[in-house]
Amino acid sequence: MKNLSYTEVVTTPNYLYVFNFEKNFVYMETKKWMQNNLTNSIYYCIIYVILVFGGKYYMLKRQRFNLRGALVLWSSLLSLFSIIGLSRTLPEMIHILTYHGFYHSVCIPSFIEQDVVSGFWAWMFALSKLLEFGDTIFIVLRKQELIFLHWYHHITVFLYTWFSYADNIASARWFMVLNYFVHSIMYSYYALKAMRYKTPVFIPMLITILQITQMILGCIISIVSYHYLESHKECKNSRIHMIFSILMYLSYFILFCKFFYKSYIDKNGKFQKKMTINGTMDHKKFKAN
């Protein structure tokens, strides 16, 4: 199978319908905007940390908010967004793997340069990482347990996604599709829980397993991309991005494995954990058996 240069035109999926806002998508304009606002992305993280921990302090002596209706709406909208994003980006991924091969999927950024549908939803994906900071607002106002994994994950994903979009990193194709897939299931579950629907007890465990699998695949894609760079093959990634990506996904893998162990394997802990909106768990004391 031919390995194409990222400057060559590649075939794209035959979408049943392309919306006008997708047709009008111009990658270079959004890339320039991201590059011009790189510093602002760091400011957003600083504001996020101040609001989160300032909010926790503010809520110490105050009654928790219920916010169930808002939680249902929030989770439902993010679930719908993730499902739509997956449905608009997965066809491009499958098409590239089928007709152009794995190398192209990790090294050639045609998904954003030459496919307006996938490109538009890559732009939405990058912006959504700022929107997802809102998950933490519910945790703070509802006085739920805020663990390190939650806010560390939000900040690092946001920064990495922003910088990857600005630098046109090709392996982001994989990271985007995987994240859309996991979030489409995760936020659907949160929406159902907020509506007080009874769901099978294995669902939270399955979501955590999917998250761990996502981290393993993220590490593999990053390592393979780095190998292509070291082999002097044409690959629209950068060494610093790939090194950061490997370290980031490895840290996620360790933290999610630790979370999985404490949540579903360790039977002698002091806390029983139940899944919450943030993808972590609310801690409630229980007596060990």
Write out the catalytic residue numbers: 153
The CA-atom distances, in angstroms, between 178 and each of 88, 128, 195, 212 are 13, 15, 26, 11
Closest CA to 177 of 80, 82, 79, 244: 82
Q: Rounded to an integer, what distance in angstroms lies between the CA atom of residue 279 and that of residue 20?
A: 34
Match 């699998």 to its residue by tokens. 213
Q: Rounded to an integer, what distance in angstroms lies between the CA atom of residue 214 and that of residue 97?
A: 18
Cβ atoms within 10 Å of 266's Cβ, excluding its own: 12
Evaluate the CA torsion angle 66, 195, 80, 151 in order and state its sign. positive
User: Beta 281-285 vs 271-275: how paired, if at all?
Assistant: antiparallel
Q: Are 169 and 237 in contact (CB under 8 A)?
A: yes
Closest CA to 135 of 162, 154, 119: 154
One-letter identity of residue 23 = K
Q: Count of residues for the chain?
A: 289
Cβ atoms within 10 Å of 132's Cβ, excluding its own: 18
Task: Report H helices in 108-231.
Answer: 110-113, 116-131, 134-141, 148-166, 172-194, 203-230
- The DSSP output letter for 235 is -
Q: Rounded to an integer, what distance in angstroms lies between the CA atom of residue 155 and that of residue 159?
A: 6
Task: Report H helices in 261-287.
Answer: none
